[in-house]
Structure 1
Amino acid sequence: YSKYPTSIAALSFSRDGRLLAVASSYTFEEGEKS
């Protein structure tokens, strides 16, 4: 498991496992800073 600069809101693999979709919640990070 690798650390990402932003929080991982959603992480899903494609059927073949070659593609990786990562959705980071930038709004959450900004909320934490403020």
Structure 2
Amino acid sequence: METGRVTHGKKSRIDRICELALVGSIIMSMLG
């Protein structure tokens, strides 16, 4: 995972999607 260098394009979009998925899974696990 390279969070240091974020290039404009697909990488940033994929990073954002992965981050949202991670946060979503954590919230779901915490809720139940």
Q: Higher strand proportion, which one? A: 1
Which structure's relative contact order is higher, taking Cα pairs within 8 Å and 6+ residues apart?
A: 1
TM-score of the superposed pair, with normalisation by structure 1: 0.30
Q: Higher helix proportion, which one? A: 2
